[in-house]
Structure 1
Amino acid sequence: MAASIPKIGWEQISPAPLVLVFGKESYLAGRALQRLRALLLLEDPELEVHDVDAGQYSDGALELIASPSLFDEPRLIRVENGVKATDAFIADALRYLAAPVDGTTLVIRHDGSTVRGKKMLDAIRSTPGAIEVVCQPLKRDELVPFVRAELRLLERDATPGAIAALVDAFASDIAELANAVRQVAQDTDGTVTEQVVRTYYAGRVETTAFAVVDAVIAGDVARALVTLRQAIATGADPVPIVAAFAMRYRQLAKVSGAGGGDGQAARQLGMQDWQVRNARRDLRGLSDALLCDAIEAIAHADAAVKGAERDPQHAVERLVRQLAIRQAA
């Protein structure tokens, strides 16, 4: 059995004679192709770039494009729509795989939604020197690392609350999430905080987990439940909603035991001054006993939404109702 080729993430793509960009997440595939082109241009600014639609392919075109030119410039051939590849393209691709052209990088994009071109895919995956770039949709728990990586590329720092706010507001579309990260990083100065994100994207964040937490801490049972239901109706997941509660109540617990002024406590706790100031305001209506009970309830809800119970939406609504009623008492 032929050895399989390396499978890597889109951000790890590097020049190779043959690259398969596979998976349904078109945004990540596009990022991978941009990165590959940039890397090849760094190697040689004379790079020739050719685009081919495998679904509209005519017999012999691949061989013609890949043939060495008079001046022997390196070339990048980007093949889109491999999932609808014509019989002619599949046949020509198989012939090319048997004898790749030196100095040519062939990239084939296939989203995997059908088995069209399976023989071609199998051949690519057994070709020495080839690589496969996996571009599948990111799972919810992969979005926070994605945002962190985007911020590193932009050389910006952000608080965990800011990252959670971005993920919560734009989790349904990875392209929108990446654009939101880039926009807030380019348009603001200093560390990106939760407050910055909530102010900057007020229209998107107003019915997210953070608004639910705010309503609960304010003891507004009706607003908390309405906001929660709006958030879930627009695609918010119970897991990050409970995570937002855990984050906020952990902050409250840390601040409750801190002495000194807001600035001094912030430095001791690794928080922003405004976070300490807001936490102390919220703690005025929260006894130590209520805080302990809330943290315990959040722990139970966290387990429930992660599989301990069959209905995660019911579990998070129960948490919201329970905490808001206690806060209002």
Structure 2
Amino acid sequence: MAASNRRPAARATKSAIPQLSWREPQPAPVVLVSGPEEVCAERAIAGVREYLRAEDPSLEVSDLRADDYASGTLLALTSPSLFGEPRLVRVQGVEKCSDAFLAEALAYLEHPQEGATVVLRHTGASVRGKKLLDAIRSGAGGGVEVACPAVKRDSDRFDFAAGEFSGARKRIAPAALRTLVSAFADDLTELAAACQQLISDVPGDVTAEIVERYYGGRVETTGFVVADTAIAGRYGEALVALRHALASGVDPVPLVAAVAMKLRAMARVAGSREPSATLAARLGMKDWQVDRARRDLSGWNEGTLSMAIQAAARADAEVKGASRDPVFALERLVTVIATRAPFGG
């Protein structure tokens, strides 16, 4: 089937063109891969290539940069060859595109080449190329868009990792998934690599013990482990975890942020008797996050939780410059949380 005739099914959107998931991309005459999350963008572009190659192994693949562009290159790479092989042209750097590329890409939308698929990568880092993006989104060129928004929140990383395993038809225990996400909370590329390693290396279901065996050393140095042990009242373990984290190069700012995030989750669910699913839907949380926060509340009351949240706010200011000794600020925070008492009290 010619690329110009493909019209993939899509979700409802305000855009005039189909919006596709980066996990299930499909080719079209023009494929706009937008957004800052490079891991997802790479998967989307690779998915388009695999789709086309499965249709025709003779696929010709070419790469060019929109910011270092020689006039006439786009038309030359998309024009039919002597034997009529399908063509895939992957264009990087559209957010920095040259005037020559912008003009030729806009002209190309008016007359896409039969049998050619052009993938345009725009990170959204600038408004450069907006005229081209607007034209594609209006329907010019018969394109589709694959959005790759930034994965920032813990719940987004959890969904990302869960999708890696479900896409591979691989089961992973909820506790194992939480541990894995916590271990790579600051790097989606490493999280994706860890998921793929477990998928390829582990023959059966992925358990918490397996994740601990593979990534236990990394897990021990995360802010979430510091937070978990402190909130559970294990003072000695919390201090050891804190020192390991700092020794391995964990920055104090995200470490405090991890502690504060768990305390806020506890405060949000405290006192509610709603079913987990109902409460999660109302608060915009996941069921497992509600269940975990409720378990964390064991032994806490309104007074001690309020004190801990205030201590986290103070530590946050101190590690961001209000104190000359961020390590002491962290140790004081861990002490207040783990002992559930005022520092020095």
TM over 0.5: same fold? yes
Corresponding residue of 1:74: 86
1:42 corresponding residue in structure 2: 54
- Is 2:216 the counterpart of 1:197? no
Residue 160 in structure 1 maps to residue 167 in structure 2: no
Instruction: Give 1:38's aligned amino acid.
Output: E
> Counterpart of 2:289?
none
- Of residues 119, 126, 135 in structure 1, which corresponds to 2:148? 135
SS of the residue aligned with 1:184?
helix
After TM superposition, give the deviation of residue 301 of structure 1 in Å. 9.8
SS in 2 for 1:201: helix
Matching residue's letter, 2:132: M
Q: Which has the higher helix share?
A: 1
Length-normalised TM-score, structure 2: 0.68
User: Which of 214, 225, 228 is matched with 1:213 structurally?
Assistant: 228
1:166-177 → structure 2 map (5 Å cutoff): 166-177=180-191
Q: What does residue 13 of structure 1 align with?
A: 25
SS in 1 for 2:63: strand
Name the amino acid aligned to 2:122: H
CA-based RMSD: 3.6
Is 2:144 aligned against 1:146? no
- How far is the alpha carbon of 1:19 from its aligned partner? 0.7
| Matching residue of 2:259 | 238
Could you tell me the TM-score, scaled by structure 1's length? 0.71
In the alignment, the residues of structure 2 paired with residue 9 and residue 52 of structure 1 have an alpha-carbon distance, to the nearest angstrom, of 24
For 1:298 and 1:35, locate their aligned partners in 2 and report how far apart those are by CA, in whole Å.
Answer: 51
Does the 8 A contact of 1:168 with 1:240 survive in 2?
no
Q: Deviations over 1:32-70 (max 9, x none)?
A: 110110011111112111111111111111111111222
Structure 1 range deviating more: 188-197 or 163-172: 188-197
In the alignment, residue 20 of structure 1 is paired with which amino acid? L
CA apart distance, 1:220:
4.0
Q: Which runs of 5+ in 1 are unaligned?
A: 247-289
Quickly say closer, same or farther: Cα 1:242–1:192, change in 2 above 3 A. farther
Change (3 A) 1:227 1:43: same
Question: Judging changes above 3 Å, is the alpha-carbon distance between structure 1 residues 215 and 192 closer, same or farther for their aligned structure 2 residues?
Answer: farther
Instruction: Give me the identity figure in percent.
Output: 42
CA contact (8 A) 2:161 2:177 kept: yes
- Contact in 2 for aligned 1:232/1:238 (Cα 8 Å): no
Q: 1:175 to 1:161 in 2, by over 3 A?
A: same
The residue type equivalent to 2:127 in the other structure is V
| Superposition deviation, residue 186 in structure 1 | 2.6
Equivalent residues in 2 for 1:277-316, closer than 5 Å: 292-294=298-300
CA displacement at 1:110 relative to structure 2: 1.1
Is this contact kept in 1: 2:161–2:195, CA < 8 A? Answer: yes
Residues 151 and 185 in structure 1, CA contact (< 8 A), matched pair in contact too: yes
